[in-house]
Chains A and B, each alone.
Chain A
Amino acid sequence: MKLTLWTYEGPPHVGAMRVATGMKGLHYVLHAPQGDTYADLLFTMIERRNHRPPVTYTTFQARDLGGDTANLFKDAARDAYARFQPEAMIVGASCTAELIQDDPGGLTEALGLPIPVIPLDLPSYQRKENFGADETFHQIVRHLAKPMPRTEAISCNILGATALGFRHRDDVAEVTRLLALMGISVNVAAPLNARPSDIARMGQAHFNVLLYPETGEGAARQLERTCGQPWTKIVPIGVGATRDFLHEVAAITGLSAAVDESALRLPWWSASVDSTYLTGKRVFIFGDATHAIAAARIAATEIGFTVVGMGCFNREFARPMRAAAKAHGVEALITDDYLEVEAEIERLQPELILGTQMERHIGKRLGIPCAVISSPVHVQDFPARYSPQMGFEGANVIFDTWIHPLVMGLEEHLLTMFREDFEFHDAAGASHHGAKAVARAEPVEAGVLHHRTPAEYLDKDEAAAVAVAVLGAPVWADAAERELKKIPFFVRGKAKRNTEKYAADRGVTEISVDTLYEAKAHYAR
């Protein structure tokens, strides 16, 4: 047993739902208790789908347990076929039905439906959502895709995009555009928007583009085995990765990798002097392995951040994640426990977090800016506007998204210079952060440095910390306190914590200006 509050991934049958809901003409009959229909709202609300997920639940109740549930399943499958007339069906069990051991595959087979019925075996107590999606897509491909003669012109399949995928909709569009620039057409993109009949003709493509290893690698390997199609190993997120991807495709097809980059703006935006202040900003990266690894490369080599920590929640990809982290000189954090992630962020005190919805909330709690790079995400990360992560437009989107939460360079500079100014003071905050700016109330006499008590200029938390300090923690000397005050407010909390820890560790009871700078030197890395 493991006490859990937040889960990065749902159970595996939710992964199967992501495949079914992404596709058309496919129906999922799921043996599950009545409450499990909650998963529908992930699709209708977070992804704002305008149709119900194509899922029939048996919604068995306690009174059905015993001999009845198998018949319930059969009826549900029969009714679903009659009502929805799908081209193919997937059938399986949720965690509870797994325990009652009806056999959805066998039961449906006995019905003799005139369509392919694909049984899913998803171990709910061992595996999670991504596995469920990968395995479901794999099984669909295994049952429906057959070797075929290749298309005359060079074509490929795009694998791995699902419902409820982070920016999958626009990534598929962007990669399709990129491939078109090379003269390659897309045979089938799946599962997202594909029909079972499309899956059946996947064999005619020359090769496969694997967009999301988490949800498409099983299918890619299957197609390699049965249809002899090679698949791409590089995920085109970031400028460098996109160019490498194009070269990989060129190597597979013999076509030229030189494509029009006139709409690519990240490199110049990043090179322009306004971005200089981004140099060496310390960033922590967490998400699914694919997005986290891609983000680390962009952060380090395209924007000039320092990667101080990275990791992923999906153990299946621990190995590539460890290798990537090593290349950045850090150790990978592989965990699905958000408390561990939070502890690591607290320890590292990065200046920017790139993560999931959970890291956004951690960032908020710790006062650290954050941008979202990976599922799980909430409704705001299924935007109305075009916002891919992949390809050249994806790189543009990423630059804007990551830089936005940071205080802008010039603003940072001005805030430091004029921090004692009566209307441009620290407490006024950064202009775009939503809080109303307030002019400082107390008059400052010309030429006289106005001294305030700690409680006057410290925020509530800090004042509380000062109160605690009275009870034995290191005490700030007046001069040191004034010096602390000169540090820009958005890093002051961190400086204060570091200094106090530094002092406490060394048994220093009164913090002087020297202690402050010794601590600063100690933590400067």
Chain B
Amino acid sequence: MSLDLPATLSGASGCRTAPVLKERGQREVFCGLTGIIWLHRKMQDAFFLVVGSRTCAHLLQAAAGVMIFAEPRFGTAILEEKDLAGLADANAELDREVARLLSRRPDIKQLFLVGSCPSEVIKLDLARAAERLSGLHAPHVRVYNYSGSGIETTFTQGEDACLAAMVPTLAGTTARELLVVGALPDVVEDQCLALLAALGIGPVRMLPARRSADLPAVGANTVFALVQPFLGDTHAALTRRGARHLAAPFPFGEQGTTAWLRAIATEFGISDDVFDRVTAAPRARALKAIAAQSVELQGKSVFFFPDSQLEIPLARFLARECGMTPIEVGTPYLHDALHGPDLDLLPSGPTISEGQDVEKQLDRQRAARPDLTICGLGLANPLEAQGFTTKWAIELVFTPVHFYEQAGDLAGLFSRPLRRKALLQAGAQA
């Protein structure tokens, strides 16, 4: 299969026009609060203050695991009975808690008030609170607000809501700049910047930035590329600021990374010669690493439960670069402007489903008997106990998986469970 061509142009047809199975029912997903866990690592002078209930605090604790013991820059202001009785009091309480927090942590420059289901339902106006607190603590601290509630956001959408909330406050510029949008582990971000620099593309800005002082500016000459497929609202907010989106497949695997870079290189008029010279070596490395890691994946079927919106680009990677056959690709949300380029490249065949009715989806999964099931932690062990092989999806969000140098690791994340199953079965028979 040719490297950068859509499946439609290379013989097989893609999934962009495939009918989408839309389902409503019980969802087995995290809420957007979870995004705090990686966002606070990325934004080093930011604190994330959830205004919510004990449930929200407990969720963060369960999802953050051992990170909770490392004095993380997040916490939950737990609503109490008296806060529910009068919103005026709730605002006064919030101001007091924030003042106390900021005096304890003078290193904090950005404070995010993160809305939760309870704060949304009682209509606690955190946007107003953020404005008020921004005034009170200016210029040292800037206070933002977004919602990570389960009634409005699913898992990685928390990052989208956070970044989208920052966009209107970014400085304006008329400079022609490339903005790369989406939180990446530092090591991956550095690789991305090095590749773009080698291509001669710059200046390049990042959103989110590691520190508030490095926040990008945005304007009509800004073009932006997304590195994460769940940034629909951020995409809209940047478009409203006049910036233009460079549609591209997401940089997973050798093909995804190449196509992503190609879209940017084309925009900036980089010659094919330069492009090939810069990418040849890392592409070869990626291909070699994928080949080594994907032996167990060839010819196997895969079933995705919805989780992070990474499902479609990952299914594309597994289908095109690891020889797998996707049976169903579930995503919590499908966004044509974002997922379209990857859908073009995903060979037709799988059911594309949006939303979830978990019981029905489990019935389909059982009937399909996939070789590998990608799902959340609430489903993984129960499915393993039924004899299925699973890969828990959250790791795909927490682990460096983007761009060339991680392509082998990415394939490895999927092949390890199969390799392990084979090992244990061989051991049991010996």
Contact = CB atoms under 8 A, between A and B. Distances in A.
A125 B378 contact: no
A59 B53 CA distance: 17
Contacts of B55: 10-11, 13-14, 36, 94-96, 124
A44 B384 CA distance: 11
Contact of A60 (B63, B81, B151, B384): B151
A5 B72 CA distance: 9
A52 B382 contact: yes
B120 A62 contact: yes
Given A1-B83, A1-B97, A56-B26, A99 B77 contact: no
Interface in B55-71: 55, 57-59, 61-63, 68-69
A478 interface: no
B6 interface: no
Interface residues of A, number: 54
A483 interface: no
A53 B79 CA distance: 27
B22 to A, nearest CB: 14
Given A44-B380, A128-B54, A83 B359 contact: yes
A3 B377 contact: no
A35 B81 contact: no
B54 A38 contact: no
A249 interface: no
Contacts of B150: 33-36, 59, 61, 96
A35 B385 contact: no
Given A3-B77, A5-B76, A39-B62, A124 B54 contact: yes
Contacts of A361: 69
B39 interface: no
Contact of B77 (A1, A42, A124): A1
Contacts of A358: 69
Interface string B80-114: 11011000001001101100110000000000000
Contact of B53 (A40, A42, A95): A95
A65 interface: yes
Contact of B28 (A7, A40, A124): A40
A366 interface: no
Contact of B62 (A5, A42, A58): A42
Contacts of B84: 99, 125
- Greatest chain B CB density within 10 A among A34, A57, A62, A128 is at A34
B180 to A, nearest CB: 28
Contact of B81 (A9, A36, A94, A125): A125
B379 interface: yes
A125 to B, nearest CB: 5
Contacts of A57: 26-27
Interface of B (DSSP majority class): helix
A148 B95 CA distance: 58
A1 B93 contact: yes
B58 A11 contact: yes
A449 B138 CA distance: 60
Contact of B385 (A3, A34, A50): A50
Nearest to B150: A35
A35 B29 contact: yes
- Greatest chain B CB density within 10 A among A40, A51, A76 is at A40
A319 interface: no
B30 interface: yes
A44 B27 contact: no
Contacts of A50: 381-382, 384-385
Contacts of B117: 33, 35, 95-96
A59 B26 contact: yes
Interface in B11-55: 25-34, 49, 51, 53-55
A38 B63 contact: yes
A58 B69 CA distance: 32
A83 B29 CA distance: 21
B62 A96 contact: no
B151 A62 contact: yes
B77 A61 contact: no
A62 B152 CA distance: 6
B400 to A, nearest CB: 23
A455 interface: no
Contacts of A65: 121, 151
Contacts of B30: 35, 37-38
Contacts of B100: 3
A269 interface: no
Contact of A76 (B26, B63, B93): B26
Contacts of B62: 38-39, 41-42
Interface string B366-384: 0000000000111111101
A288 to B, nearest CB: 16
Contacts of B69: 358, 361, 365
A96 B121 contact: yes
A126 B81 contact: yes
B255 interface: no
A61 B120 CA distance: 11
Contact of B29 (A34, A48, A128, A365): A34
Nearest to B384: A50
Interface in A54-74: 56-62, 64-65
Contacts of A59: 25-27, 150
A1 B381 contact: no
Nearest to A362: B69
A3 B97 contact: yes
A2 B26 contact: no
Closest 6 CB pairs of A and B: A35-B31, A35-B150, A40-B378, A50-B385, A33-B150, A96-B117
Given A35-B31, A35-B117, A79-B359, 19 more contacts: A3-B75, A5-B75, A7-B57, A11-B53, A35-B149, A36-B31, A37-B26, A38-B378, A40-B378, A41-B62, A41-B377, A42-B62, A50-B381, A50-B382, A61-B152, A62-B149, A62-B151, A99-B122, A124-B55
Interface of B: 25-34, 49, 51, 53-55, 57-59, 61-63, 68-69, 72, 74-81, 83-84, 90, 93-94, 96-97, 100-101, 117-118, 120-122, 149-152, 154, 359, 376-382, 384-385
16 contacts: A4-B54, A4-B75, A7-B54, A13-B55, A34-B31, A36-B55, A36-B150, A44-B379, A45-B381, A50-B381, A50-B382, A52-B382, A62-B120, A95-B118, A99-B118, A125-B80
